[in-house]
Amino acid sequence: MSTILSLAAELASGRTTSEELTERALARIADPGGEGARTFTRVDREGALKAAQASDLLRAAGVVPSPLAGIPVSVKDLFDLAGQPTPAGSVVLKDAPPAAKDAPVVARLRAAGAVIVGRTNMTEFAFSGLGVNPHHGTPGNPFDRTRIPGGSSSGAAVSVADGMAVAAVGSDTGGSVRIPSAFCGLVGLKPTQARVPRDGALPLSWTLDTVGPLARSVACCAIMDAVMAGGAPAVPEALDLAGLRIAVPTTVVLDGMDDTVSAAFERALEALSMAGARVVEIDLATLAAIPKANAKGGFASPEAYAWHRELLARSGDRYDPRVSVRILRGQEQSAADYIELTRLRASLMAEAEAATRAFDALAMPTVPVVPPRLKELEDDAEYARINMLVLRNPSLWNFLDRPAVSLPMATGGLPAGLMLVGKRGHDKNLLRVARAVEPAVA
C-alpha cells in the first residue's frame, strides 16, 4: 500500500521520480478497462506532467517543500482551479466562466509541491451521500463494480482506491468525505469547519460544509489536512491505546446495522478493549433530537435553494431530478423556521459537548450498511430511503461541528468504516487517537 510517506521516502532515495508516479497515475486514469472516465470530469495531463517535471528538478536542487512534493493528488469538481470552470458534477455549469484563481486549499497543496492530476466526479452539486451521477456516469466501487462508491465525493475515493491519485481533496456537508471512504476502504477526515478555508468551493450549505482529505492512512490525511489548513505538514504522534476513553453512543447510530457491519464493529470494539482502551456505552439523547430539528429540511435545503434558485429557474430541467427535488425543499422553510433551527443547533452543540467531555473520542459505524448495489437505487423511493440511511450517522457531526474520521474496519469482504468523533476544535487530538486505533481495527 503506497502512502504519502512511503512514496516521499522513495522519492528522497531516488528509487522513483515524480514524473514516474504521475505517469503511472495518468495511465490508470486512461486505462479503457478501468474507471477513469467515470472517476474524473477533467484530466490535466499536460499540467500534471509539467508540475511533476518541475518537482523533480527542484528536488535535484535540494528544494523539497513538504512530504507532498511530487505526489499526485486529485481535486473534487466543486473546487476552483485557475483557468477552468467549476461545474460541481453538473452539466448546467459546464460552460461557466473559468476560475480566476485556485481555491486556497488547492493553492496550498500546489505550494507544498503536490501534483494536481485532475478534477473528480461527484454527485451533482454534492447533494447526496450515494455518489450517483446521471451526467458523467457513476464510478464503480473498487471492491465490487456493481456497487456504489458513496458520495458525494465519489470520484475522489475511487481515484485513490484505484491508484489514479495518492490522496484526494473532498468536501463533507453530511458525510461526503467519510461515506465514500468507508465504502472504498479508505481513511477520510472531516475537520472542525473553521479549520480549513472553504473559499473557492461551490457551496451546498454554508453552515455545514467542510473540506477534508481522503487517503490510505491517517498519516496521509493528517499531512493533507495540515497543508490545507495552512500549517506545517506534520503527523501527530499516536496516543497509547491503553487508557483511552472511548464512548459508544447507543442512540440512533447503531440502528439498522447489517450483519457485516455489526460483526466488524463488534470485533473492532473488542480489539480496542483488549488493547487497554476503556470502551463504554452511553445514552446520548442529543442525537435523537437532531433528526427532529431537521424535519423541515435542515440547513442544506434552504441554503442550497438560496444559491440555486435563479439557476433552477433558467435551467432546472437540466438538473438531476433527485438533486433538484432536495434543493426545492428549501422553498418550504420560513425565515422563522431557519432562525429557530440556528438557535436550536447552538443549544444541542452545547448539550452534546457537556455529555461527552469526559471521553477522548466517540466510536460508531460510519455507515450502518455495506455499499448498496447500483440496481437497488433504480426506484426513487428506495434511493431516498437508502440515501438518508447512509447519511444518518456522519451528518450528525456536521450538525454538531465536531471533527470526525472514518477508518477501515476489517470485514473479510465488503468494506465498512469505523467513525471516531473528537471534540470541536481538537482535530489534532482526534488524529492522535485515530493513529492509535487504526492498526487495531484494520
Q: Which residues are catalytic?
A: 76, 152, 176
Using alpha carbons, select from 197, 234, 188 the residue that is nearest to residue 215: 188
Distance CA 21, CA 7 (A): 9
- For residue 74, the surrounding DSSP H or E stretch is strand 72-76
Q: Write the burial class of residue 62 (CB in 10 Å: 0-12 exposed, 13-18 middle, 19+ buried).
A: exposed
Q: Write the DSSP string, 94-151.
A: TTSPPBSS--HHHHHHHHTT-EEEEEEP-SGGG--SS---TTT--PPBTTBTTB---S
Distance CA 30, CA 114 (A): 20
Sheet holding 187-190, edge to edge: 40-43, 115-120, 72-76, 167-172, 210-215, 187-190, 404-409, 416-421, 361-365, 245-249, 278-282
Question: What is the total residue count of the chain?
Answer: 442
Using alpha carbons, select from 380, 203, 210 the residue that is nearest to residue 302: 203
Q: Write the burial class of residue 163 (CB in 10 Å: 0-12 exposed, 13-18 middle, 19+ buried).
A: middle
Asked if 120 and 155 touch (Cβ cutoff 8 Å), the reply is yes
Cα-Cα-Cα-Cα torsion 17, 19, 25, 27, nearest 10 degrees, comes to -120
Asked if 58 and 115 touch (Cβ cutoff 8 Å), the reply is no
Q: Write the burial class of residue 6 (CB in 10 Å: 0-12 exposed, 13-18 middle, 19+ buried).
A: middle
What does the block give as the cell for 193?
469547519
